């Protein structure tokens, strides 16, 4: 009976005047005019309705009741004398004849005003997430998330994909990030792991005869938080196709994603098929990143041959020099200094600039060093009056990265160089199969170790590993990497040879990936797949800067769930059940000495 209501708080209109109704919702606030007259706002999931309190009896029922309590109000609808065009129900109000408190808020002072919760400290919001989610602006993101996921499911099903769920408890696997480990009670000293991705399972499904698989898959990685990455867990639109090529994967996502972005996004247009394809090396050379924002029309030009040895120390022999030309430049000197300062903070490398003044002369910045190279620079970049050129120099990768940061910072500020009101997708293709690890200094897989090398076995056996390309690809939208994918290595012989290059022998492959290796030995079909991040997609669709805004119960930057108190200590009996003993850091040295 407490849950009965005739209408929701966004439903009543002028045509309902005279009806007796029952509403349920949260007591948002009340504007008191006198001791017997007040205007109460009742809010539920759907919207708000004004309730007019104009009797002692009804006012007494609200005495001592705090805002955010849940109420059931029965009364009569009437036309408002002072209408509110900003409310969907702004032409009517309800005059109550009965008010029942369904759930009393026992806290006199809330941690924040619900309708302004986004202004509160993030940790406070996450601790009281149940209140934060009452804010219509926050709730809307959860509604959006639900609608987008439902539409993705529908689209994938219409494309002939079968939704199959894969295990959450599995074995630890070297897939690039730290695992979350789960100790086994029944098998002492052994652990399950939460899957970093359903990678092996979906490939095994292909070997099992499933033709097209997908799921909205939970993934678990013990990683640090970023604005576009939530620590702990995230969701992805995981898909795999048997007897498929790279182009088959591209065609599916080029049909599925743009309508979802255009229909639900803050921008109402999105790239149409085919998306632009950019080789990995070309992306670095042209945009300074493998995640280019194609809404920005700025690109990089190599001016090493023109400017080396001009007298400016960063442009000395051996350094690569990159230039970013900005035509019709109107930013102030203060704005330029801010761009240069931010670039150094982000890239760890200094940048510089020069302008073309009204007389066609170089001015500002490092102009005095370029006087003898002026004509060559102007011709190479086709400079005109009012243009500005930003420079980055150093080791090639560092110069590329710095120039890429310049593009990212300047694009949104420089008038006419960015179309902000759209979603621009592109594919980054032809990734190197191997690279030298920045931390290890040794040969490592560049991308996904389960990818098929371009050229197959011949390439593995005959080429320098750093020259081998892989059938790997990234999907990028507005400068955000949504997904990585690949044509998979389904041949166990090629797999073994590919892993040998990074120092893993046949026994290592069989022990680390036993199920997948075994399945492939029974005649696996060629297959390919990808897994766009659902959270990142919705973040872009919603126009949010932080991924935590579109996750119902996110962890904070320190991987803590402040609302539930996780991670938390557990009782000793629970540890004993799973054969675990906690050894504090201060005791580890003593134990080693005793051992």
- Give the model's confidence band at 592: pLDDT under 50 very low, under 70 low, under 90 confident, else very high: low
The confidence score (pLDDT) of residue 4 equals 85
Q: Copy the structure tokens of residue 238.
A: 């995981």
The confidence score (pLDDT) of residue 440 equals 82
Average the pLDDT over 206-228 and give the result.
90
* Spatial distance between the Cα atoms of 464 and 575, rounded to a whole number of angstroms: 50
Digit-coded pLDDT (tens) for 353-368: 999 999 899 999 999 9
- In CATH terms, are 139-275+424-550 and 296-410 the same topology? no
Please choose, from the candidates 259, 279, 278, 277, the residue with its C-alpha nearest in 3D space to the C-alpha of residue 269. 259
Give the residue ranges of DSSP H helices in 37-135. Answer: 56-61, 122-127, 129-132
Give me the residue label for tokens 């920045």.
438
* 584 or 6, which is more confident: 6
The confidence score (pLDDT) of residue 174 equals 67
The confidence score (pLDDT) of residue 227 equals 67
What are the residues whose beta carbons fall under 8 Å from the beta carbon of 43, sequence distance 6 or more? 9, 25, 26, 28, 134, 136
The confidence score (pLDDT) of residue 132 equals 97
Kind of pairing, strands 276-279 and 300-302?
A: unpaired
The confidence score (pLDDT) of residue 1 equals 41
The confidence score (pLDDT) of residue 2 equals 45
* Spatial distance between the Cα atoms of 434 and 370, rounded to a whole number of angstroms: 39
The confidence score (pLDDT) of residue 366 equals 94
* Spatial distance between the Cα atoms of 353 and 366, rounded to a whole number of angstroms: 6
The confidence score (pLDDT) of residue 3 equals 62
Average the pLDDT over 197-209 and give the result.
95
Give the residue ranges of DSSP H helices in 413-571. Answer: 456-462, 492-500, 506-512, 514-520, 534-542
Domain coordinates in residue numbering, the chain = 14-103, 139-275+424-550, 296-410
Digit-coded pLDDT (tens) for 11-29: 999 999 999 999 999 999 9
The confidence score (pLDDT) of residue 286 equals 98
Answer whether residue 588 shows pLDDT above 70. no
The confidence score (pLDDT) of residue 173 equals 76
Q: Copy the structure tokens of residue 176.
A: 């690039």
* Spatial distance between the Cα atoms of 97 and 61, rounded to a whole number of angstroms: 11
The angle at the Cα of 194, spanning 188 to 198, to the nearest 5 degrees, equals 130
Q: Copy the structure tokens of residue 118.
A: 């986004």
Out of 3.40.720.10, 2.30.30.40, 3.40.50.1980, 2.40.50.140, select the CATH number for domain 14-103: 2.40.50.140
Average the pLDDT over 382-410 and give the result.
96
Averaged pLDDT of the chain: 93
* Spatial distance between the Cα atoms of 30 and 236, rounded to a whole number of angstroms: 43
Digit-coded pLDDT (tens) for 501-524: 999 999 999 988 899 999 999 999
- Give the model's confidence band at 584: pLDDT under 50 very low, under 70 low, under 90 confident, else very high: confident
The confidence score (pLDDT) of residue 315 equals 95
Q: Which secondary structure element, helix H or strand E, spans residue 572, and what is its range?
A: helix 572-577
Backbone torsion region of residue 337, taken as left when φ is above 0, otherwise alpha when ψ lies between -120 and 50, otherwise beta: alpha
Average the pLDDT over 359-387 and give the result.
93
Give me the residue label for tokens 């041949």.
491
Please choose, from the candidates 485, 575, 473, 465, the residue with its C-alpha nearest in 3D space to the C-alpha of residue 528. 485
What are the residues whose beta carbons fall under 8 Å from the beta carbon of 406, sequence distance 6 or more? 288, 324, 339, 343, 351, 390, 392
Burial 342-366 (b: 16+ CB within 10 A, else e): ebeeebebebbbbbbeeeeebeebb
CATH code given to domain 139-275+424-550: 3.30.930.10
Any idea what DSSP says for residue 296?
B
Digit-coded pLDDT (tens) for 121-148: 999 999 999 999 999 999 999 999 999 9
* Spatial distance between the Cα atoms of 297 and 422, rounded to a whole number of angstroms: 14
Average the pLDDT over 79-83 and give the result.
93
Digit-coded pLDDT (tens) for 312-343: 999 999 999 999 999 999 889 999 999 999 99
Digit-coded pLDDT (tens) for 171-196: 887 666 789 999 999 999 999 999 99
Out of 74-78, 291-295, 573-577, least confident range: 573-577
E strands of 1-139, at which residues? Answer: 20-34, 37-43, 48-53, 70-79, 92-103
Average the pLDDT over 289-311 and give the result.
96
Burial 566-595 (b: 16+ CB within 10 A, else e): eeeeeeeeeeeebeeeeeeeeeeeeeeeee
Class of domain 296-410: alpha beta
pTM over 0.75? The answer is: yes
The confidence score (pLDDT) of residue 587 equals 64
CB 350 within 8 A of CB 312: no
- Give the model's confidence band at 594: pLDDT under 50 very low, under 70 low, under 90 confident, else very high: low
What are the residues whose beta carbons fall under 8 Å from the beta carbon of 556, sequence distance 6 or more? 122, 123, 126, 225, 548, 562
* Spatial distance between the Cα atoms of 520 and 207, rounded to a whole number of angstroms: 7
């Amino acid at each position: 009976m407490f849950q009965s209501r005739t209408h929701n708080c966004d439903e009543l209109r002028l045509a309902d005047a005279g009806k007796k109704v029952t509403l349920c919702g949260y007591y948002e606030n009340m504007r008191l005019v006198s001791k017997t007259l007040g205007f109460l706002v009742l809010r539920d999931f759907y919207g708000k309705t004004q309730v007019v309190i104009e009797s002692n009896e009804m006012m007494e029922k609200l005495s001592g009741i705090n805002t955010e309590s849940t109420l059931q109000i029965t009364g009569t609808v009437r036309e408002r004398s002072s209408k509110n065009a900003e409310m969907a129900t702004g032409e009517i109000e309800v005059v109550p004849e009965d008010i029942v408190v369904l759930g009393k808020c026992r806290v006199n002072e809330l941690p924040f005003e619900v309708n302004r919760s986004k202004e509160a400290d993030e940790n406070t919001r996450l601790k009281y997430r149940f209140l934060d989610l009452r804010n219509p602006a926050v709730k809307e993101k959860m509604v959006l998330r639900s609608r987008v996921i439902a539409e993705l499911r529908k689209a994938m099903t219409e494309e002939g994909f079968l939704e199959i769920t894969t295990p959450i408890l599995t074995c630890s696997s070297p897939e690039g990030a730290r695992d979350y480990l789960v100790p086994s009670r029944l098998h002492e000293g052994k652990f399950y792991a939460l899957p970093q991705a359903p990678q092996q399972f979906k490939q095994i499904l292909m070997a099992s005869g499933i033709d097209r698989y997908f799921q909205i898959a939970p993934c678990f990685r013990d990683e640090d938080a970023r604005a576009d990455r939530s620590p702990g867990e995230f969701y992805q639109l995981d898909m795999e196709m048997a007897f498929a090529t790279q182009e088959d994967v591209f065609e599916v996502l080029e049909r599925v994603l743009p309508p979802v972005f255009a229909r639900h996004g803050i921008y109402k247009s999105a790239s149409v098929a085919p998306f632009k394809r950019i080789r990995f090396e070309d992306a670095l050379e042209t945009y300074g990143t493998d995640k280019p924002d194609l809404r920005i029309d700025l690109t990089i030009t190599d001016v090493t041959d023109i400017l080396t040895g001009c007298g400016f120390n960063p442009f000395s022999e051996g350094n690569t020099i990159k230039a970013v030309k900005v035509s019709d430049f109107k930013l102030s000197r203060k704005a330029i200094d801010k761009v240069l300062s931010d670039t150094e903070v982000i890239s760890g490398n200094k940048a510089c600039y020069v302008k073309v003044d009204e007389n066609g002369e170089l001015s500002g910045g490092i102009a005095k060093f370029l006087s003898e190279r002026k004509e060559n620079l102007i011709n190479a970049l086709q400079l005109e009056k009012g243009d500005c050129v930003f420079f980055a120099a150093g080791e090639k990768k560092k110069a590329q990265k710095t120039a890429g940061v310049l593009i990212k910072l300047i694009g949104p500020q420089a008038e006419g160089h960015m179309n902000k009101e759209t979603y621009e997708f592109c594919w980054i293709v032809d990734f190197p199969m191997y690279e030298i690890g920045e931390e290890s200094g040794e040969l490592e897989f560049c991308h996904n170790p389960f990818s098929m090398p371009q050229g197959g076995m011949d390439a593995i056996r005959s080429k320098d590993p750093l020259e081998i390309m892989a059938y790997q690809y990234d999907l990028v939208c507005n400068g955000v990497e949504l997904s990585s994918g690949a044509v998979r290595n389904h041949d166990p012989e090629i797999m073994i040879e590919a892993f040998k290059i990074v120092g893993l022998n046949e026994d290592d492959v069989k022990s680390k990936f036993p199920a997948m290796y075994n399945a492939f030995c029974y005649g696996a079909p060629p297959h390919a797949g990808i897994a766009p991040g659902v959270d990142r997609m919705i973040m872009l669709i919603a126009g949010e800067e932080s991924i935590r805004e579109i996750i119902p119960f996110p962890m904070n930057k320190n991987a803590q769930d402040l609302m539930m108190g996780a991670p938390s200590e557990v009782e000793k009996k629970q540890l004993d059940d799973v054969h675990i003993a906690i050894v504090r850091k201060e005791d580890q040295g003593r134990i080693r000495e005793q051992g």
